[in-house]
Chains A and B, each alone.
Chain A
Amino acid sequence: MRKLSLAAALLVGSAITAPVLADGHLQIVEGDPLELTIQMNHARYPVYEEDWPVEQKARELTNIHLKDVTVGANMRTDENTGKTEALNLMLAGGNIPDIVGSSRIKDFVNQYGPEGAFLPLNDLINEHAPNLKAYFETRPEIEAAIKAADGNMYYIPYLPDGKYGRAYWIRTDWLEKLGLEVPQTVEEFEAALRAFKTQDPNGNGEADEVPYFARQWPELIRLVTLWDGRSSGSDTYHDFYVDDGQLRHPYAGEGYREGIKNLARWYAEGLIDAEIFTRGSSARDFLLSENLGGATHDWFASTSGYNKLSSEIDGFEFKAMAPPASISGKRVEEHRRIPIKPDGWAIGGTNEHPVETIKYFDFWFTEEGRRLANFGVEGMHYDMIDGKAIFKQEFLDAGPVNRSLYQVGAQLQGRGYFQDYNYEIQWSNEFALEGIALYDEGDYLIDQFLGVAFNAEEQKVYDRYWGSIRDYMLERQQGWILGNGDVEADWDDYQAQLKKLGLDDVLAVMQSAYDRQYGG
């Protein structure tokens, strides 16, 4: 944090169209701008670009200048390490910048914050951040979710907006061709899939249709919800879930057993992609464009886009359908947008301007700041029309909107901000919007488990047992689906083995952490 020389300040000032400090109500420091160093990492933007228009605008409004000092890069895509590689590198390097923003920052700050690597934010927020304070007052569960085991908050999260993530999708043109209605129950769903397999809806004379497929094989396991089972408690696969204040693991429940038994049957009967475990991320692209795939469970936005295939495949129509009713009649969409992500930013333990920094964080929760984070710069990327931020047409036309926004420094998930779903609606296609409307008609979503922060003892127990348990669960799960063993016959042994591997201990520490965090 060096003070800029006067000359440099003038230079920066002259580069910006509007006069510096023209309207000072968001200004955090007087006079010379304050420079804060930042490390920001995300697979899509490996460093913090100082010439992003959004950063330039933020400088103009707050008089705080972020200087990029990012080391390393989170370029790998594996779930955990890949996303925090740069953080580890930064910490091992010994220099912690004033602000650290990253994907998957939560566990990281909750582990190293109490050791002194990051500043606790509670008092700073209470005293200096009215907007953040107001937000957390309205959303106490968010505040609870980001707390570390010592009760402190160490990061300001990226808070996604909107409810829906994934949905059930089906080839409605095939249904029509075979004279079927959109399935409303698990039995009808099974019948539809079987019809896809046996009645040659793609009309090529071969039974090469793949009735149910998925890009991520756990989306097959998701179907156990059709037998009242659970597959995950959050938007992370294989996660714990909360049942009436009690933490449980979905892969140890009765509904799961029933679901696996039936999914194994579906698999044996060819209703499920034979290569579900190895097809990988290109499954959707390949099976839909080859006119082979019948149904899947995938994201609204990206999946709806495949309807453009209708120009190549006659009649192609891939529409969202409401979750089929389970055997007990419940309609559940287990996946949803989680209200809070483990991504965001934190204040480095050696920051000499914590007050200014928290004020800066607070700025992004002001109306202007939130709009800046969501839509970019007014007049450049969007215009205000009837009090609403509307993207300029040329901006929408310039390619994938998400990417365009990253490129100007907006919608950065390494920044703590509150997303505005309106940004997405403006470029969602009609099939996605139609699907979302369909899901809005019912009340299919269920509560999410927002995670816990362990203390050192709990962490030790969790680390010691959980990896083995998870491996064992997945190993058996795939085995049963593939027919290597029968879930009914193996179930008691399975439960005994889970106990032996320490599932009860893991659940106990989860529970104690949960009780502490969410007030039992």
Chain B
Amino acid sequence: MVQGNTPAPGSAIESVEDTPDTLHDTFTDSRGSRLYDHFKREWQIYVMLLPTIVWFLVFLYKPMYGLQIAFKDYSIFRGVANSPWIGLEHFETLFSNDQFIRAVTNTIKISALNLLFGFPAPIILALMFNEILHATYKKTAQTIVYLPHFISSVIIAGIVITAFSPTAGIVNTIIGWFGLDPVYFLTQPQWFRPIFVGTGIWQEAGFGSIVFLAAIAGVNPSLYESAVVDGANRWQMMWKITIPSILPTILIMLIIRIGNIMEVSFELVILLYHPATYETADVVNTWVYRQGLQSGQYDLAAAAGLFNAVVAFVLVMTANTLSRRFSQTSLW
């Protein structure tokens, strides 16, 4: 410490004892130079960190500057800074629009269904994979269910349209075997949500199961052996060991999922919906796309996007708090 430089009589012994450190400190102990030393010593770590920081700055923080157009009458030519402020007008436009309200409702409904059926699906799948003992069979099955994830939405939509086609689709063919009339599923509002959510599960459950499989793989195998010796059957092991062991992973994934509740897979909706099914299919993103972007209303689109983000933020905070309180697991 600096004081050590002019030792008071009483502190003489202490300073002598501290000599090696004190001497060093006397010359270098300022916050800046310590930081300098720190960076000099650990610079490799910061270099490795740099790309992530840059990514965040460039792709997440800088665009936040543009969020202000939600409160402006934005013109691309005038730019973000020079467009005039108009307050909450875009939000008034949004909330006075029945179709926007309907889109918000649809988004929440589809997301809720997704959460209800789509969230457990990869967990169940992972548990099922875990029970497969035959290695080749397991690998083959996993590969097959992972595949749809790697197919572009356009092709997925094509497959769905074909499968549910009233004339040639497999679904209606099967319905036909029971002597029933074909159903033109994709134009019936009441069928959109089941088909959409089902498609989502088919496409993503397999790939989503990877994280849970990894969590299961991380469970200490002797827990199972111990349970075997104790007399547990596979079902009991799944409920009493596997699921409790991967519960933290499940909760984290759930929180993340809740944070994405306003993000319904936009491309797939665009590809599958029709005016005839807007009633159930139109979600915030598609509404914004049609109203905002197709007619160049970036400011309105930004307002809707901001609304989405705020809702998602509140939801994820709530979920995180609840999870921390009840299970000691949380994202942060």
Do A and B touch directly, given a CB cutoff of 8 Å in the complex? yes
Q: Which residues of A contact B (CB under 8 A)?
A: 78-81, 84, 88, 91-92, 94, 107, 111-112, 115-117, 208, 274-275, 277-278, 280, 463-464, 466-468, 471-472, 474-475, 477-479, 482, 484
Stretch at the interface among B136-144, B293-301, B315-323: B293-301
Residues 84-127 of B contacting A (Cβ, < 8 Å): 93, 97-99
- Known A-B contacts A78-B294, A80-B294, A467-B295; the reply to A474 vs B77 at CB < 8 A is no
- The distance in angstroms between the C-alpha atoms of A274 and B279, with both chains bound, is 21
Q: Is the CB of A478 within 8 A of B291?
A: no
- The distance in angstroms between the C-alpha atoms of A208 and B167, with both chains bound, is 9
The reply on B161 being an interface residue by CB < 8 A is yes
- The distance in angstroms between the C-alpha atoms of A91 and B74, with both chains bound, is 13
Q: Is the CB of B76 within 8 A of A91?
A: yes
Q: Is the CB of B187 within 8 A of A278?
A: yes
Residues from chain B with a CB closer than 8 A to the CB of A479 are: 276
- The distance in angstroms between the C-alpha atoms of A471 and B103, with both chains bound, is 12
Besides A115-B75, A275-B166, A475-B276, 12 other A-B contacts (C-beta < 8 A) = A80-B294, A88-B296, A91-B77, A111-B296, A274-B167, A277-B276, A280-B161, A463-B297, A471-B99, A471-B282, A472-B99, A475-B275
> Least Cβ distance of A346 to chain B in Å?
13
- The distance in angstroms between the C-alpha atoms of A60 and B295, with both chains bound, is 41
- Known A-B contacts A79-B294, A91-B77, A482-B184; the reply to A468 vs B165 at CB < 8 A is no
Which residue on chain A has the smallest CB distance to residue B292?
A467
Which residue on chain B has the smallest CB distance to residue A94?
B79
3 smallest CB-CB distances across A and B, nearest first, come from: A474-B275, A478-B276, A467-B291
Residues from chain B with a CB closer than 8 A to the CB of A475 are: 275-276, 278-279
Q: Is the CB of A482 within 8 A of B295?
A: no
> Least Cβ distance of A218 to chain B in Å?
10
Residues from chain A with a CB closer than 8 A to the CB of B93 are: 464
Residues from chain B with a CB closer than 8 A to the CB of A471 are: 99, 275, 278, 282, 290
Q: Is the CB of A277 within 8 A of B274?
A: yes
The reply on B255 being an interface residue by CB < 8 A is no
Residues 220-255 of B contacting A (Cβ, < 8 Å): none
> Least Cβ distance of A261 to chain B in Å?
17
Residues from chain A with a CB closer than 8 A to the CB of B189 are: 484
- The distance in angstroms between the C-alpha atoms of A274 and B165, with both chains bound, is 9
- The distance in angstroms between the C-alpha atoms of A117 and B77, with both chains bound, is 7
Residues from chain B with a CB closer than 8 A to the CB of A91 are: 76-77
- Known A-B contacts A88-B76, A91-B76, A482-B187; the reply to A278 vs B99 at CB < 8 A is no
Complex A-B: 16 CB contacts under 8 Å: A88-B76, A92-B76, A94-B79, A115-B75, A116-B77, A274-B166, A275-B184, A278-B161, A463-B295, A463-B300, A466-B295, A468-B291, A471-B278, A471-B290, A475-B275, A478-B275
Which residue on chain B has the smallest CB distance to residue A349?
B77
> Least Cβ distance of A485 to chain B in Å?
10
Give which listed residue, B77, B165, B290, B294, contacts A275 with CB less than 8 A.
B165
> Least Cβ distance of B205 to chain A in Å?
25
| Central interface residue in A112, A117, A467, A468, by most chain B CB within 10 Å | A467
> Least Cβ distance of B220 to chain A in Å?
51
Residues from chain B with a CB closer than 8 A to the CB of A84 are: 296
- The distance in angstroms between the C-alpha atoms of A482 and B188, with both chains bound, is 9
- The distance in angstroms between the C-alpha atoms of A256 and B296, with both chains bound, is 30
Residues from chain A with a CB closer than 8 A to the CB of B167 are: 208, 274-275
Residues from chain A with a CB closer than 8 A to the CB of B303 are: none
Q: Is the CB of A484 within 8 A of B293?
A: no
- Known A-B contacts A471-B99, A482-B276; the reply to A115 vs B77 at CB < 8 A is yes
- The distance in angstroms between the C-alpha atoms of A32 and B276, with both chains bound, is 61
- The distance in angstroms between the C-alpha atoms of A223 and B98, with both chains bound, is 31
- The distance in angstroms between the C-alpha atoms of A464 and B188, with both chains bound, is 28
Residues 68-84 of B contacting A (Cβ, < 8 Å): 75-79
| Central interface residue in B76, B279, B297, by most chain A CB within 10 Å | B76
Which residue on chain B has the smallest CB distance to residue A96?
B77
Residues from chain A with a CB closer than 8 A to the CB of B290 are: 467, 471
- The distance in angstroms between the C-alpha atoms of A277 and B274, with both chains bound, is 8
Give which listed residue, B275, B278, B293, contacts A81 with CB less than 8 A.
B293
- The distance in angstroms between the C-alpha atoms of A288 and B93, with both chains bound, is 47
Which residue on chain B has the smallest CB distance to residue A84?
B296
Residues from chain B with a CB closer than 8 A to the CB of A117 are: 77
- Known A-B contacts A117-B77, A478-B274; the reply to A468 vs B97 at CB < 8 A is yes
Which residue on chain B has the smallest CB distance to residue A482?
B187
The reply on B269 being an interface residue by CB < 8 A is no
> Least Cβ distance of A181 to chain B in Å?
29
Give which listed residue, A115, A277, A467, contacts B187 with CB less than 8 A.
A277
Which residue on chain A has the smallest CB distance to residue B190?
A484
- The distance in angstroms between the C-alpha atoms of A112 and B83, with both chains bound, is 13
- The distance in angstroms between the C-alpha atoms of A107 and B186, with both chains bound, is 34
Q: Is the CB of B275 within 8 A of A115?
A: no
Residues from chain A with a CB closer than 8 A to the CB of B75 are: 111-112, 115
Residues 264-318 of B contacting A (Cβ, < 8 Å): 274-276, 278-279, 282, 290-291, 293-297, 300
Which residue on chain B has the smallest CB distance to residue A468?
B99
Residues from chain B with a CB closer than 8 A to the CB of A467 are: 290-291, 294-295
> Least Cβ distance of B46 to chain A in Å?
33
Residues from chain A with a CB closer than 8 A to the CB of B79 are: 92, 94
Residues from chain A with a CB closer than 8 A to the CB of B182 are: 274
- The distance in angstroms between the C-alpha atoms of A79 and B295, with both chains bound, is 10
> Least Cβ distance of A108 to chain B in Å?
8
Residues from chain B with a CB closer than 8 A to the CB of A474 are: 275, 278
Q: Is the CB of B274 within 8 A of A278?
A: yes
Q: Is the CB of A484 within 8 A of B98?
A: no
- The distance in angstroms between the C-alpha atoms of A79 and B99, with both chains bound, is 21
> Least Cβ distance of A125 to chain B in Å?
23
Residues from chain A with a CB closer than 8 A to the CB of B166 are: 274-275
Which residue on chain A has the smallest CB distance to residue B291?
A467
> Least Cβ distance of B103 to chain A in Å?
10
Q: Is the CB of A484 within 8 A of B188?
A: yes
Which residue on chain B has the smallest CB distance to residue A456?
B73
Residues from chain A with a CB closer than 8 A to the CB of B296 are: 80-81, 84, 88, 107, 111
- The distance in angstroms between the C-alpha atoms of A79 and B186, with both chains bound, is 22
Which residue on chain A has the smallest CB distance to residue B168?
A275
> Least Cβ distance of B70 to chain A in Å?
15
- The distance in angstroms between the C-alpha atoms of A84 and B187, with both chains bound, is 30
Residues from chain B with a CB closer than 8 A to the CB of A88 are: 76, 296
Residues from chain A with a CB closer than 8 A to the CB of B275 are: 471, 474-475, 477-478
- The distance in angstroms between the C-alpha atoms of A278 and B167, with both chains bound, is 12
Q: Is the CB of B276 within 8 A of A484?
A: yes
Residues from chain A with a CB closer than 8 A to the CB of B278 are: 471, 474-475
> Least Cβ distance of B301 to chain A in Å?
11
- The distance in angstroms between the C-alpha atoms of A466 and B296, with both chains bound, is 13
- The distance in angstroms between the C-alpha atoms of A277 and B271, with both chains bound, is 12
- The distance in angstroms between the C-alpha atoms of A477 and B277, with both chains bound, is 11
- The distance in angstroms between the C-alpha atoms of A115 and B78, with both chains bound, is 8
Residues from chain B with a CB closer than 8 A to the CB of A92 are: 76, 79
